[in-house]
Copies of this chain bind each other. A is one copy, B any other.
Amino acid sequence: MLLKGSWIYMSIKCFAELKQKALEINEQFKVVGIWPDVETIKTAEQAKNIGLADFTFVFHEKIPGFPTIVVPNPQIALETGIDLVIRNEVDTLMKGLINTSLFLKVLIKSKLIKGWVSHTSVLEIPNLDKLIIVTDGTVTPNPSIEQKIEIIKNAVLCAKVLEITMPKVALLSANEWITPNLSSTYDAALITKMFERGQIECEALVDGPVSVDLALSEKSALKKRVALRFDPPADILMAPDLESAAFLIKSAVYIGKVSVAGVLWGMMSPVVLTSRSDNCGSRVISLCIAKIARGVIDS
Contacts and interface: CB of A to CB of B under 8 A. Distances in A.
A184 B242 CA distance: 12
Contacts of A247: 172, 174, 212, 239, 244-245, 247-248, 251
Nearest to A100: B175
Interface residues of A, number: 49
A68 interface: no
A26 interface: no
Interface of A: 101, 123, 125-127, 132, 137, 141, 172-175, 177, 179, 181-182, 184, 211-213, 216-217, 219-220, 223-224, 239-258, 275-277
Contacts of A255: 123, 125, 132, 216, 251-252, 256, 258
Work out how many copies of this chain go into the complex.
2
A101 B251 contact: no
Contacts of A253: 213
B250 A256 contact: no
Nearest to A173: B243
Contact of A220 (B184, B223, B277): B277
23 contacts: A101-B175, A125-B255, A174-B246, A174-B247, A184-B243, A212-B246, A212-B250, A212-B251, A213-B253, A217-B254, A217-B277, A219-B277, A220-B276, A224-B276, A239-B247, A244-B247, A247-B247, A251-B251, A251-B252, A252-B256, A255-B258, A256-B257, A256-B258
Given A123-B255, A252-B251, A243 B213 contact: no
